[in-house]
Structure 1
Amino acid sequence: MEIKDLIQRFSDTDEHKMKAIFSTLFIAGNRLQTLFDEEIPEITLKQFMLLTMVRQSNTELTLTHAGRLLGCSRQNIKKLASTLERKGYVKIGQSTSDSRAASIKATEQLHRYFQDTFAAYETQLHTLFSVYDAKELNQFFSLIMKLYEGIDQMETKDPK
């Protein structure tokens, strides 16, 4: 049995479609992580995502804030950041705005990494999304943003 066959079997009702979409998101995430980790052995996909957040942040990025952005705990971010600090990509230090918080700062090695290596990731992204035309890509983007709205609703739901 192939995953496409299994998903197709779940296309008959809205309830089944929701289950198929949820399963597909989980499976796709695992497959993308495996592909990425095999392609670029220097860092993991999770480490790459943290580096991207550090690089793109216009303000000081604390461990807690990075955890919220990436959907994981402060402790997981600390572990990822510590590994990246040992590799020379980031520095972990005290936040300038809150002495109780730790922040992650980019190093010159991080900037060089994106200058030298990011083209390989962009090629992979183009390959991944080459199956979509411009209209489909816009629709997909819009739908993913709605998915985040649903996740936000689940996270802020008042348990009763």
Structure 2
Amino acid sequence: MNDDEMKANIFGSLFLVANRLQVLGDQIDAQVSTKQWLLLAVLLSCENQRCSLTELSKKIGSSRQNIKKMALILEKRGFLKLTRSDEDKRTVLLQPTQACLSHLKTREKNEIAFVESFFTGFDTEKLMVMQESISQWMKNLARMEDTYGEEE
């Protein structure tokens, strides 16, 4: 297989891996999908576990509308609190509730087992190469977003 064929194979495989990972991940928890879990994980990494819809959408790489849709679902389930910013009433802030934090704690062991199983067969060297590769892809994507990204 030449370089172009390998690139095409890897490129297509990324989508297959992502889709299969999402389907499996969604089976871990009936209350929180994989994409909702990612939203919560990114939110928990924000300062004071509080972030705006716009900031979250940029960090996750999804549209503001998709983030808002997920946030409203999570709010209905009692996992998020959505409020307006005191400084700018147009800004919607998201914050996890205590119920959310408690729920995430209950699934922690399953998450750890899931990730460990996903990385079976990866030694430190493979993990380092994978981490470097993903880091390079993220840099490339940031550059490409400047070129191909939608005008706002």
Match of 1:9 in 2: none
- Unpaired runs of at least 5, structure 1: 1-11
Residues 60-113 of structure 1, C-alpha deviations (whole Å, 9 max, x = no match)? 311011111111110000000000000011111112443321010111011112
Q: Which residue of 1 aligns with 2:47?
A: 58
| 1:134 aligned onto 2:124 | yes
TM, length-normalised to structure 2: 0.91
Give the distance between the partners of 1:131 and 1:27, measured in 2 at CA. Answer: 19
What pairs up with 1:23-62 in 2 under 5 angstroms? Answer: 23-59=12-48, 60-62=50-52
Residue from 65, 88, 95 that aligns with 2:78:
88
Q: Which amino acid aligns with 1:80?
A: M
Residue ranges of structure 2 left out of the alignment (5+ in a row):
none
Q: Deviations over 1:25-60 (max 9, x none)?
A: 101000001111123222111111011111121153
Q: Name which structure has the greater RCO, CA cutoff 8 Å, separation 6+.
A: 2
Identity, in percent, stands at 27
User: Which secondary structure state, in structure 1, belongs to the residue aligned with residue 122 of structure 2?
Assistant: coil
Moved over 3 A (4+): none
Most deviating of 144-153 and 38-47: 38-47
Q: 1:158 to 1:120 in 2, by over 3 A?
A: closer
TM-score by length of 1: 0.86
Kept after mapping to 1: 8 A contact 2:81/2:94: yes
Within-5 A mapping of 1:1-160: 12-59=1-48, 60-157=50-147
User: SS state of the match for residue 56, structure 2?
Assistant: helix
Report how far residue 116 of structure 1 moved.
Answer: 1.5
Task: Work out the CA distance in 2 between the residues paired with 1:120 and 1:134.
Answer: 23
- State the alpha-carbon separation in 2 of the partners of residues 92 and 50 from structure 1: 14
